[in-house]
Structure 1
Amino acid sequence: MTKATELHKKWLQDETYKAEYDALAEEFSLSSALISARSAANMTQSEVAEKMATSQSYVARLESGAVKPTIDALKRYATATGSRLTISLEHRP
């Protein structure tokens, strides 16, 4: 186990850290889904950007969570990667 992983496990015991980490889970999930779609399409960020008619740096910012994408941007990303965009709302217990 890496030192970072060990620290993360330790910090998750702290309620404040865990709450902040959990709050970012949705953003991590979106970033992961975008990167997975691009990887499954065997495409580079530049190739996705070209199909989206945008810049590679914008695709990088989308994938890193640095920008909040619009539904239109997500649709264009999905189309560029040959993916289907689905959005769901789930009840929290």
Structure 2
Amino acid sequence: MTEKLYEAAFPYAEDILALPVEDLDQTAKWYGAAFGLVEVERRDDPVPTVILERDGVQIGFAVNGGDASQEGAAILVSDIHKA
């Protein structure tokens, strides 16, 4: 079995599954290409949201009116050189 590279994700502020963005499609595409995250859920209520995942670790983005420049997340990896 392959060792999990992604171990956990932590938000800078409140919610790892609702990081503010303006464009869900562009965000999902970029994080998929840059980090190998795969879309596992998309919903419109209560706000448009996309959930991405890798190695069982989820991170979400939402069009929720928040300021993306004031929010973010950190991803804990098992091997920084492979990440």
In the superposition, the TM-score normalised over structure 1's length comes to 0.28
Larger radius of gyration: 1
In the superposition, the TM-score normalised over structure 2's length comes to 0.30
* Greater fraction helix: 1
Greater RCO structure (CA 8 Å; 6+ sep): 2
